[in-house]
Structure formats: structure tokens, C-alpha cells
Structure 1
Amino acid sequence: MGRISGCLLCTLVLIASAINYSNTAPAPAHEGMFKFETEIERTMFEFFVNLFKYLHASLDKSRELLEQVLKDEVIVQKNDLEKSKELLMDYIVEAKERVKPLPADISTVDGFLYIVTQIHTLNTFEDIVQRYNTTSLPKPTDEDILIEAALKRNGLDALISELKNNKMVFFDEFLRKMGIYVKNLSEEDRIKNNKVVEWYQKYTDSTDEQKANDVFTHFAQMFARF
């Protein structure tokens, strides 16, 4: 991967120094700190700020759920669940690490990789949920059943629904803004930005899950130059 510059660098600097890892949207005044030459730069600026906020909130809520599971009365009383308890604790520690402030001297590549590691950690939470999904296990153990029950007692189903809804709201808003950008391109700019146009056309024909995965991978990498 080449260097990340321009708008994305501004976004990462903003994340590191201005919004203080709050779930509250950055004030409009913050945007005035940066000059955008094109609407795609502005859109990408908003995309990475909102992506960070989405990931930060999701990591916090998933961590809190697993903390509650470890405090669950049934789980606390069991002394033969060390493997599962260690797995949950490892995630809690990693999730806390992922929402610490970025270094003041952050480089562009470091900033991009920071968001990638947040995505990776959140995917680990999904792996844990699937690990204890007894309906998909050929022979669930007593330990699997106990952990799954504790997850559900402490709000797993509601959290999954909330995270899915938040993710789709985030991507739908991004798609809406990208649609406005593509629609208003001049013929000259449409040719110049043919990758954007091609990606957008493919994106609109994708399923919700495909859209989410595509934004996290291909699109973010395609615009790493901003």
C-alpha cells in the first residue's frame, strides 16, 4: 500500500486530536479546519470520521457485553470455564486497546492501519459469538451452552440487532452522498473518475452485506490517495 495523503490524512489527524474519541459527531467548525478541493474529498472525510465513530461505539458495546458475561452469576460460580473466560478477557483487553488515542505523530499509513485493526477486532467479536452459537455446532458442549445462555441473558440479541442497524444506517447515508456526487459529475469528471462511477454502479446492485464488505475493503483502498 502506498502513502495515504490529503483528505484521509486530515481525517486521521482530526480523529487523533479533535473529536477525543467521543460518540458525538464532530462540530461543524472542525470541518472548517480543512480545505476540500472536491466533493469526493469531503465525502471521504465524513466517511472516515463516521467510520471511526461507528467502530468505536461498536467496540465499546461489545466489550461491555463480555464484561457483563464474566460478571454473570452463573458464570462466576463455575470453575471449569477457564478457556472461555480467557477468550472473553482477551477480547476485552484488545477492545480497550483499540479505542486508545492515536499517537500525536501518527503517520498516514499508521492511521489507516489503526482503523483496519479496529475492524479486525470487531470481527473477532463476531467470531466469539459464532463460537458459542449452539445451533451451528454439531456437538455443543456444556460450556458452549452456558456461555451462549449468559451472552443472551446479558443482551446479545439486542446488541446484534443494534449493531446491524447502525451499520446499515451508516452505509446507507454514505451511499446517498456518493449518489449525489456521482450524479453531479460532468462528463469530463466522469471519465476522470471512472473508478468511482464503476464502483458506485456495482455497489448499488449489491446486497446490504456485500455493500458493507465492499466499503471496508475495495473502496477504502481505492481512495487511499486522498
Structure 2
Amino acid sequence: MTGLFPRDRVEVAPGAVHVPEWLSVERQQELVAACREWARGPVPLRHTQLPGGGVMSVRTVCLGWHWQPYRYARTADDVNGARVADVPGWLAELGRSAVTEAYGGAGAAGWARDAGGAGDAGGAGAVYAPDAALVNFYDGDARMSMHQDKEERCAAPVVSLSLGDTCVFRFGNPEGRGRPYTDVRLASGDLFVFGGPSRFAYHGVPKVLPETADPAVGLRGGRLNITLRETGLGGPDRRG
């Protein structure tokens, strides 16, 4: 649960913005319900198998484009061959609002240019067009190692929404998995956007803090993370 005192908005690195408590409890409830529906299919929630034979501890369901290491496709050939569900319009609109929220303050014009907003921070949100969403579920033992989101052919920002238990989110640099990095606590309802110079920064989740969620959100244990992305892949049948 969030504490008694409000947490401040922070620019963790150039172009990487943490906005605590951005989502209302009611909006969080709606997102949790939507995640439950998406997890039922047409492509169900699954542990992703890595090329070396390992299996990711988080479980994932994708919208718009199906991600598997290290490419995108419209169909989930590593699960059941079905075409993934589309990114709903209301979720894309939420992503646009998130980018506007993150980059609407002073000093955001440079990141807005990288987001396609021609230097206008409000315009960055207006033109943001996420066509893929990854929904990750972390139980108490799940982790995410340091990695880059780099399968996309577009440098538009990544939008991250947190639901349920708080996690330690480790946000690093574009050069490698090691230091310097910053550990940020992402609680339910928090927004994190990274673009501009931080778009390809390494990041991961070394820890989930059990029993930290507000029961009102409707998630009984664990953490959900929704990340929205522009793939830059174009037409409906193109593969990454």
C-alpha cells in the first residue's frame, strides 16, 4: 500500500519519469479486470521460454503483437498459434495520456521530439500510437533480469503501468547491465515512462514486495505490469 505521505514525481534519468499514484483506484480495478480477460486468450498467459532453454519466472500475455525472444509476430507460434488480441483503443488512449503526463512539464521538449512531437510536450502524447502491450504477472518469487527493450523499430517511449504489489524497479543506463542504476519502488497505480536518451536503458525487477497492495485494487497477491510500446513494424502481416 502507499504510505501516509504523497510521493514526489521524479525524473530518474533524462527522459525517464516516475509519476506515483497516477491511476485512481477505480482505474486500477478496471485494468485488473481487463488483464484477467486478456489472460484467458485467445493466447493465454504463459511463461516465456528463452532460446537457451530457460523459462522466465514472470508470466506474460501480449496484445497487438506477440513478443517472444527476440522478435514480434502477430501469432503466438510458441504457444498455440493463435493471433493475439488487438490493443484496445481505450488502452492506447491511456498510453497517450501517460506520455502527456510524463513529458508535459518543464524541460520535456527534447524527449517530446524523440517521441515524434516536434518539440511540443503535449504533442508527444497526441501522436503516441502504441500498437503492442505486454502484460506481465509477477508472483512473489518472480524476477526480471536487466534487459533492454530493443526489438522495436521505433524510438517512441515505453509506458509502464503498475498494479498490485510494490516492486523494486532497477533502472540503469543504455551502455550495460551494471552501474550506474537507480532502484525505484513502483507501487500500484504508479506510472513510469522512459524515452529520449533513456529509451534503450537496461532495466529489471530484482524484487517484488509481498502483501503491499491495496486490497481495493482487486488483485490478491502478486504484481501486474502493463507496458505499452510502438513497434514501428507497420502492416498487419509483417513479422519482426
Common fold: TM-score over 0.5: no
Identify the structure with the greater strand proportion.
2
Please identify which structure carries the higher helix content. Answer: 1
Q: Relative contact order, CA 8 A, sep 6+: which one is greater?
A: 1
With normalisation by structure 2, the TM-score equals 0.23
